[in-house]
Chains A and B, each alone.
Chain A
Amino acid sequence: MTAATDAAAAAPSARRRGARIGSGVASYLGFVPAILLLGLCFLVPFGIIVCYSFWETIDYAVVHHWTLDNYRYFFSVSAYVSTMWWTLVVAVIATAFAIGLAFPFAYWLSRYSPKRLRTVLLVLVIVPFWSSYLLRVYSWLTILGQQGIINRFLQWAGITNHPLGVFLYDRPAVILVLVYLYFPFGALTLYSSIDNFDWNQLRAAMDLGASPLQAIFRILVPQIKPGIITAIIFVFIPILGEYLTPQIVGGTGGVMIGNLIANFFQEAEYTRGAAISLLVAAFIVLLLVIFRKSLSAKEAYGA
C-alpha cells in the first residue's frame, strides 16, 4: 500500500521535474512534520527498545552485547508467565463486560431514547474524561475500600460488624475499575455504528418469525461487526497495557503485565523490561492482523 502511494505521488512529480527543478522534493515537504513527529516520538524510541531487549544490563548499566537472555529469562520465571496469562484473562473478561454493557446501552440510546435526551446522555458518557484518569481510579478506593461507601453501608445495615476487605486489592476490583474506565470507548464506538441501522430490518426479521434476540444477533450484529471489532480493539488493547489501575486497586493479586514492565524499569532492569514490552507489542500486532481480516468482511456487502 505504501509502495503504491509512493509511486502515485512520485509519478506526477517526475513529469514536472523538467519544468521546475526541486519540485520533486517540494512535493514531499508536506510530509516533513509528520515524519519528524513519527520518527522522533515513535520510531527512535521503538528502535531503542528493540535494541535494549537484545542487550544486557550489568550493574545497572546497559551493555551493548547482543543476546536472547532477556526473553529466555522471562519465560523461565513461572510467575512472570502466569502474570502474562492472567493479564490476558483479565483483559478478556473486562473487555467482555465493557462491550456487553456498552452494546445494550448504545442499542437503547439509538433506538429508544428521545432525541433531546440523547445528546445529554452522550455528553454524560464523555464527562469522566474531563477529570484525571488517576483521580477516577483513586475514587474507587473510596467506594471499595475498608472505609469505603460499600463497607459503611453494610455495617450501617447490620449485614457485617467489621469492614470487609474483599472488595479491593484483587482481580475482581481491577476488572470492575477497568470496565468502568473503558465502557465509554465501547459505548461511543458502538453507538456510532448502530446509529445508521435501519430498524425496519429488525421488524422484518420478527415478522418472519425471529424472536427479538434472534433478530438482534442474526440481523443487527452481523451488520455492525466492523463497529464491534473496532470497539473491542479500542477496549482490549489499552487494557493489555494497563498498569496504574492494577497498581492502585489490584494489590498483589491483581498484578498485570504492565506492572511487571514498570517494575523492571524502576529497578533499572531496562533490557528485561524492554523484552516484555516487545512481547506485548508483538501480541497486539498479531491481534490486529487477525482483526484486520475480519474487518475487511464489510467490503463483501458494503457496495
Chain B
Amino acid sequence: MTTVPTLAEQASPPTAAGIELRAVVKRYGTQTALRGLDLEIRDGEFFCLLGPSGCGKTTTLNLIGGFVGPTEGEIWIQGRRIDTLPPHKRPVNTVFQSYALFPHMNVFENVRFGLKMDRVPRDESAARVREALQLVGLEDFGDRMPSQLSGGQQQRVAVARALVKRPAVLLLDEPLGALDLKLRQRLQIELSQIHRDVGTTFVYVTHDQEEAMSMADRIAVMNDGRLEHLGTPEEVYRRPASRFVADFIGDSNFFDATVTGDVAQLTDGSRVGCAGGRNGPATLMVRPEAITLGAGPTSISGRVLQTSFLGSYLRVAVETSSAEEPVVVALREGSSVPSVGDEVSLSWPAGDGIVLEPPE
C-alpha cells in the first residue's frame, strides 16, 4: 500500500501469521477496553474470541475490522500492517450482529455491493454472487428483499455478502445472537461447513461458550481486557489457565487447597490427588464428570442433597465439608443412583484435579 514502512517496522519483520496483534491497548476516555493484547491467529483458522460482555472481545474485532483504532500497539494481517488503514482498505469483511443488510436492495444486489465498490466487471460479479449465494444455500432468493427473509436467511445473506469479496479474514460479531436455539445449532454446523469450503480465516466473537466449543479450532478466552487463555476447545476445557476460564466454560467444582507435589490438602484436612504444577495455596478445580461415587485411593465424603435427571446424564449435588458450595457430580448412564440423604464418597483421578491460582 501507500504506507512507507518505518524503521521500527523494518526492524521487526512480520511473522507468517494470518492476523497478529502486538501489545494492543485500547482506551475509551478513562475506560480501558484492552490492556496490552498479544494474539496470533493462524491463516485459515476458525478462531473464537470468547468472554462475557465488556471483556474486550468486540473491541478486538472492531480493531481488526478498522472501525476503531488502537491506542497503542500494531495489527498485522498476512505480513501487512493494517492498523493505519481505513476499514474499506483492509482485506477484512464483517458479518454484523444485526446483519446490517441494505433494505432497499434485493438479496442479489446486497451481495454484489462489495464487488461493485471494487469495480469488478458485471459478468464476473454476477457469477461470484451466484457462487456465494449457492455457498449459503440461497441461490433461489436473489430477487427477494431482505424484509421478506427469515432471520436465519438474512444471516446467511450477510455471510454471503462478506465472503463474496474473498477476504483474507472474515469477522463474525455474534452473528447467531438473535436466533433461536434450534436455528442457532443448525447454523453453527453450516458455518463450520462454509469455513471448510472457503478456507478463509474466521474470527468469531461470542459470549456463548457452547457456540465457541462447537465451531472453533482455537478459542481465546478474554476477561476484563486481557487474554485469559488461548487454546483448542479441549485444552481450554481440560486444562483451563485460570479459575475464570474454568468457571466460564462448562461446570466446575472449586476447592480451596494447599498443594504439595501431587497432593492437595483441602480446608477440612482431607487430602486428595491433583495434577500438581504449583505448590502452596491454590484453587483445586474438578469437572463434574471426572468425579465418581465410591471410595478411591484418595476421596472426600459428603451427603447427597439433590439428584437431577438431565437426559444424557444424572447430576448429583453433594454437600461436603471440603467446599462451601455443594460439589456437583455428573454420573453417566449405568452408574448406580444414590438417593437424597445418602452418605457418599467422591473420588477422581489425580490428573483431573487441576491446580489453579488461589483467589486474591
> Chain A: residues with CB nearer than 8 A to chain B?
198, 200-201, 203-211, 214, 218-219, 222-223, 300-301, 303
Asked if B147 contacts A223 (CB within 8 A), the reply is no
Binding site for A on B (CB under 8 A): 65, 67, 86-88, 92-94, 96, 98, 100-104, 113-114, 117-118, 145, 147-148, 161-162, 165
Please, which residues of chain B bring their CB within 8 A of the CB of A219?
Answer: 102
- What is the CA–CA distance of A160 and B106 in the complex, to the nearest angstrom? 60
Q: Which of A198, A209, A222, A301 contacts B147 (CB 8 A)?
A: A301
Instruction: Enumerate 19 A-B pairs (CB-CB under 8 Å) in ascending A order.
Output: A200-B96, A200-B100, A203-B96, A203-B100, A204-B100, A204-B101, A204-B102, A205-B113, A206-B88, A207-B65, A208-B88, A208-B113, A208-B114, A208-B162, A209-B114, A218-B113, A223-B104, A301-B104, A303-B147
B346 to chain A, nearest CB (A): 50
A211: chain B residues within 8 A (beta carbon):
88
Give the chain B neighbours of A203 by CB distance below 8 A.
67, 87, 94, 96, 100
* Chain B residues, Cβ within 8 Å of A198: 98, 100
Chain A residues, Cβ within 8 Å of B67: 203
- Complex alpha-carbon distance, A181 and B100, angstroms: 37
Partner of B103, one of A209, A210, A301: A301
| A contact patch SS | helix
Contact A200 B65 (CB under 8 A): no
Tell me which residues across on chain B come within 8 A of A208, comparing CB atoms.
88, 93, 113-114, 117, 161-162, 165
Q: How many angstroms between the C-alpha atoms of A102 and B165 in the bound complex? A: 35
Q: Residues of A contacting B104 with CB < 8 Å?
A: 222-223, 300-301
Task: Determine the distance from Cα of A218 to Cα of B113 in the docked complex, in whole angstroms.
Answer: 10
Known: A223-B104, A301-B104, A301-B147. A207 touches B93 (CB 8 A): yes
Nearest CB to that of B112 among chain A residues?
Answer: A208
Contacts of A301 in B (CB 8 A): 103-104, 145, 147
The reply to whether A204 and B117 contact each other, CB–CB distance below 8 Å, is no
Smallest CB gap from A207: residue in B = B94
- A200–B103 CA distance with the chains assembled, in angstroms: 12
Report the separation of the CA atoms of residues A219 and B104 in the bound assembly, to the nearest whole angstrom.
Answer: 8
B88 pairs with A207, CB closer than 8 A: yes
Establish whether residues A210 and B94, one from each chain, have CB atoms under 8 Å apart when the complex forms: no
| Bound: A204/B103 CA distance, A | 12
Does the CB pair B117–A210 fall under 8 Å?
yes
- Looking at B92, B96, B100, B145, the one whose CB has the most chain A CB atoms below 10 A away is B100
Considering the complex, give the chain A residue whose CB is closest to the CB of B89.
A209
**CA separation between A206 and B92, bound complex, in Å?**
11
Chain A: minimal CB distance from B232 (Å): 29
Chain B proximity of A209: nearest CB distance (Å): 4
Compute how far the CA of A130 lies from the CA of B86 in the bound complex, rounded to whole angstroms.
45
User: Given the complex of chains A and B, what is the CA–CA distance between A107 and B88 in angstroms?
Assistant: 21
B73 CB → nearest A CB, Å: 22
Q: Which residues of A contact B93 (CB under 8 A)?
A: 207-208
Contact residues in B for A204 (Cβ distance below 8 Å): 94, 96, 100-102, 161
Say whether A201 contacts B88, CB under 8 Å. no
CA distance A198 to B100 in the complex (A): 8
What separation, in Å, do the CA atoms of A207 and B91 have in the docked complex? 9
Question: How many angstroms between the C-alpha atoms of A20 and B1 in the bound complex?
Answer: 84
Ranked nearest first, the 4 interchain pairs of A and B with the lowest CB-CB distance are A208-B114, A209-B117, A204-B100, A200-B100
CB distance from A55 to the nearest CB of B (A): 51
Contact of A201 with B102 at beta-carbon distance under 8 Å, contacts A208-B161, A303-B147 already known: yes
